[in-house]
């Protein structure tokens, strides 16, 4: 609880300083005071000086009151925020003319459209890239600098260019090497959006290592299978599935190991109590027993353990011995013992 109070106290003090810096003096001062009162050293000092502060109900009511009063003093322009993406009404002719408005429409289109073959190619290539640690998130977060505005060299109109900035050099391992075009080097999509917010045309420009830039209309978009080496991709998927399965098995094994340790071994020295008891019963001098270590491994429905211990023999000399045993995972009982 003290840790929580320290964290909240520091956060409120920093928030108060921030409010003071922004001109919200009343809210900032009250927030900083609230933060100071939450700090255990300050609270403990007040308990010593004022008896009423020793009452937990009084303290918590004071915190709540200060919090709401500080909120009441917060200026409206500080508490209210505007969303970064404004809703664009497509039926308002003439409203969709600036770059930001068109960009917002294109962002929504890229994130949600499932029929655009070119966007789907990029989305699937990004998913495939993740298999090779070369993921691309342009279709998931298109607002992160992937959209720009340019002037079309032919029509002289402003168009929006979606450039996913895909790392094609690292992707060469799974890209198909076409005998005619070569290997893909770049992939961008040009969009023309009118003043009503409708996408009137799309052109995909793919750059190949042999033929250079090739322009495609939306009904001519190459299939993903012509760009990606599916044999390499499927092989990678199998490897990833095997790695995932191996990791899952490892985690399950470690979980069983921890469960066995917590359930069946002593938290003090890691020994198995029943095995210790059995060893002492067969020792020449049970009082001389000293546990050295217990190693264990879990397999099937039992755990195999090896306990190393010391004790005096019939001649009074200290000797080190070990004993092996199988232990049930269900009730921690000894299944078998081997000297």
Burial of 207 (0-12, 13-18, 19+ CB in 10 A): middle
Instruction: With beta carbons less than 8 A apart as the criterion, state whether 263 and 316 touch.
Output: no
The pLDDT value recorded for residue 154 is 81
Phi, psi of 194 (to 5 degrees): -85, 180
Interatomic CA distance for residues 63 and 58, integer angstroms: 9
What mean pLDDT comes out for the span 174-181? 87
Query: What is this structure's pTM?
Result: 0.55
Q: What is the mean pLDDT of the chain?
A: 85
What is the pLDDT at residue 82?
A: 36
> Which pLDDT score is estimated for 208?
93
DSSP letter at 223? P
Q: Pick the closest to residue 222 from 108, 124, 321, 107 (CA basis).
A: 124
| pLDDT tens per residue, range 316-339 | 899 999 999 999 999 999 999 987
Mean pLDDT of 153-166: 90
């Amino acid at each position: 609880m003290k840790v929580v109070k320290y964290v909240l106290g520091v956060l409120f003090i920093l928030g108060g300083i921030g409010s003071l810096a922004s001109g919200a003096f009343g809210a900032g001062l009250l927030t900083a005071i609230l933060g100071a009162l939450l700090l255990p050293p300050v609270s403990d000092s007040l308990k010593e000086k004022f008896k009423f502060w020793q009452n937990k109900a009084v303290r918590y009511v004071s915190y709540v009151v200060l919090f709401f009063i500080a909120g009441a003093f917060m200026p409206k322009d500080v508490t209210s925020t505007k969303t970064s993406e404004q809703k664009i009404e497509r039926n308002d002719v003439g409203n969709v003319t600036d770059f930001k408005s068109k960009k917002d429409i294109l962002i929504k289109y890229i994130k949600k459209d499932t029929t655009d073959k070119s966007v789907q190619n990029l989305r699937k290539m990004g998913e495939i890239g993740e298999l090779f640690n070369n993921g691309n998130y342009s279709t998931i977060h298109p607002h992160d600098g992937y959209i720009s505005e340019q002037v079309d060299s032919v029509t002289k109109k402003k168009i929006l260019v979606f450039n996913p900035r895909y790392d094609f050099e690292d992707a060469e391992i799974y890209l198909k090497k076409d005998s005619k075009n070569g290997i893909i080097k770049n992939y961008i999509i040009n969009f023309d959006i009118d003043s009503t917010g409708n996408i009137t045309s799309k052109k995909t420009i793919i750059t190949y290592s042999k033929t250079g830039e090739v322009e495609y209309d939306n009904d001519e978009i190459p299939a993903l299978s012509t760009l990606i080496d599916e044999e390499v991709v499927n092989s990678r998927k199998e490897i990833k599935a095997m790695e995932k399965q191996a990791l899952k098995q490892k985690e399950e094994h470690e979980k069983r190991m921890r469960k066995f340790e917590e359930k069946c071994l002593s938290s003090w020295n890691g020994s198995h109590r029943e095995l210790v008891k059995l060893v002492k019963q067969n020792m020449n001098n049970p009082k001389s027993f000293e546990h050295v270590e217990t190693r264990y491994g879990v397999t099937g429905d039992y755990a195999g353990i090896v306990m190393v211990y010391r004790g005096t023999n019939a001649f009074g000399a200290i000797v080190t011995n070990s004993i092996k045993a199988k232990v049930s995972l269900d009730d921690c009982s000894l299944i078998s013992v081997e000297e």
